[in-house]
Structure 1
């Protein structure tokens, strides 16, 4: 059953929950957020309990210390941090589907589905920009140089191979979950009440600071990445490009942190790695200090933050030119587009 076409208006991404009155009731946004965050707490608790049980069976040294050390060359550490981050994916699904009681597609894009055509058009650009941000962060750290105050992170080739496999498998899933939870759930829940995208965008960015190391080296790139992802989601009308940016930065910063551990390059990338980590995970709190000096990490964090803002502006200009919208206008859901069906109870 569709809404009266005479009442329809073009809808930007952050207002997708207003397509039907039942999705934007007074309490519905609160239920959406509560369902997502409660689900996340329960899910990461399960992950942590299972990790402790498994490690308790490992003979010899206390391996549990290794998964909380912030060592970017530790496969155990990286696996736990990313596994916790991946839990944002089912949490976001639960928030939208059972808290908001609306189709999951409405949280993906203004088309109410993932848009492969958008990824084909902009994906290579966004991926290249994400890699550029990591290169600049690592280069800034290398210029300042490490002072030898980081952990002893000498790693074997087998360790680095294990970390690489874990990162390539889990980091993209974490990026999908993070963008669904923060941009698809938080932004749209607040967008049910607010027409302006500014406060929903800022709120979704602020969530990035949960459980994070509150130093300039981490906070600056974390907020910049949150803003970049939020602006891309709002501007492009969906999560596709923000997922691509977050996934690229997460994968690249993890790998550079691991392979460059103990050097200025690794420290610069580690700051960005900590900034890109999912809120509430061990990587968010510890990764920035694991690979070298604080000065190199700070340089990398500042460089990453500046690069992210510049990259976002460039991508906004490209999207505007290709989609035929003004720079401060988003891609929207056309007013004559049929409203998605209600979710049956």
Structure 2
């Protein structure tokens, strides 16, 4: 079979929807995006209704949860916020599979499947990157508090840590739902958004800016949260484009989500807890109850944590770009791409 000379020399991740003309039709990218976001709205509505119904049947439970307190030590608050965030996963699947009518793998990587070799070599770097960002935010908050700054209350106004059983339940919820939320957020807000704009534009820059800006959806616009939220969105978009897939960005966001939740819960009422809480609010999935709360951003300690996390994320993203370039033997500003001679993934059957 002769190669298709209409294809570019290589296909970067944000241009994967151009591999087949049917996937890059005039309305197809918009249908993909619309299907994902409409599905998300419907799914979180179901989650909220079911939560209210369950709590209404529970004896002695207050069901007035129009807005949760955002307490990082509250199993209810944490579970509801993360459950809403997890709905980005089925929403993204619906958008790619039924809105874009293409294989889900095309939104995963340039190979249309998870790349185990990349995970083995660079996966630990992605996890370490997230851990360092959370540690830096917590340390900045602790130092600011020690210098006499008011850390403010932790998210939701908690002035002391919860009981041991309560914290163990929170940890279990975070460890189960945190990774699922991260996968969903990256699939939809990085994979779908990057590839929607990439269908029309060859340059990755507008797509990466859009994939960062969507982090502001439904989010409280306080400086301590907005800056790290944009930085995390940009870091994830850059890693997805540079590495040619979502594997590293998922590891980064999973680590930030899980560890910032745990640190803000264990350190509630402390400077370290406030610093981590600002990053936790920044990493919260757009459209969730946690993203809409401003309490995590209160006080100098939270602001110090948010600003430190922003700078650390940007610096470590540059380091990761260098690591990816060295492993894949590509230029610093050159992405890992799908070779032009590689056959396009099979179309979805009607």
TM-score, reference length from structure 1: 0.96
C-alpha distance in 2, partners of 1:7/1:261?
57
Map residues 205-216 of structure 1 onto 2, 5 A cutoff.
205-216=212-223
Instruction: Provide the residue aligned with 1:204 in structure 2.
Output: 211
Contact 1:147 1:293 in 2 (8 A): no
Aligned mate of 1:316, from 299, 313, 321: 321
In structure 2, the partner of 1:326 is: 331
- Unpaired runs of at least 5, structure 2: none
- Structure 1 residues 230-260: Cα deviation after superposition (integer angstroms, max 9, x where no partner): 0000000000000000000000000000000
Aligned length: 342
**2:262 corresponds to which residue?**
255
Kept in 1: contact 2:151–2:300 (CA 8 A):
no
Q: CA-to-partner distance for each residue in 1:282-336, whole Å, 9 max, x for gaps?
A: 11122x524x842111100000000000010000011111111110000000111
CA 1:148–1:315 in 2, change beyond 3 Å: closer, same or farther?
A: closer
Q: Which residue of 2 aligns with 1:295?
A: 300
Q: Give, in whole Å, the separation in 1 of the partners of 2:118 and 2:183.
A: 16
Separation in structure 2 between the aligned mates of residue 70 and residue 3 of structure 1, nearest angstrom: 58
Tell me the alpha carbon deviations over residues 263-284 of structure 1, each in whole angstroms, 9 at most, x when there is no partner: 1101000010011010000111
1:18 aligns with 2:21: no
Contact 2:13 / 2:337 at 8 angstroms: preserved in 1? yes
Give 2:177's aligned residue.
170
Structure 2 distance, partners of 1:95, 1:42, is 13
- Deviation, structure 1 residue 152: 3.1
Unaligned runs of 5+ residues in structure 1 are: none
Could you say what secondary structure the match of 2:173 adopts? helix
**Residues 196 and 59 of structure 1: CA distance in aligned 2, closer, same or farther (over 3 Å):** same
Aligned pairs (5 A) from 1:1-345 = 4-9=3-8, 10-65=10-65, 68-145=68-145, 147=150, 149-150=152-153, 151-154=157-160, 155-286=162-293, 289-290=295-296, 293-345=298-350
The CA deviation at 1:65 is 4.0
> Matched residues in 2 for 1:191 and 1:108: separation?
15
Q: Return the alpha-carbon distance in structure 2 between the equivalents of residues 60 and 242 of structure 1.
A: 42
Give the Cα separation in 1 of the matches to 2:79 and 2:302.
22
Query: 2-side partners of 1:132 and 1:149: how far apart?
Result: 23
1:60 deviates by 2.0
Q: CA deviation at 1:204?
A: 1.0
SS in 2 for 1:340: coil
Indicate if the aligned counterparts of 1:225 and 1:308 stay in contact, CA closer than 8 A: yes
What CA distance in whole angstroms lies between the structure 2 residues aligned with 1:158 and 1:189? 45
RMSD: 1.5
In 2: Cα distance, 1:339 partner to 1:235 partner: 20
The superposition leaves residues 120-170 of structure 1 with CA deviations (integer Å, 9 ceiling, x where unpaired) of 010111101110000000001111116364213431000000000000000
Using the TM superposition, give the Cα deviation of residue 3 of structure 1 relative to its aligned residue in structure 2, in angstroms.
8.9
User: Under a length normalisation based on structure 2, what TM-score does the superposition of the two structures give?
Assistant: 0.95
Q: Secondary structure at the match of 2:168?
A: helix
Q: CA deviation at 1:59?
A: 2.0
Structure 2 contact 152–300 (Cα < 8 Å) conserved: no
Q: Could you tell me whether the CA contact under 8 Å between 1:232 and 1:241 is conserved in 2?
A: yes
1:176 and 1:46 map into 2 onto residues whose CA distance is 20
Secondary structure class of the residue paired with 2:59: coil
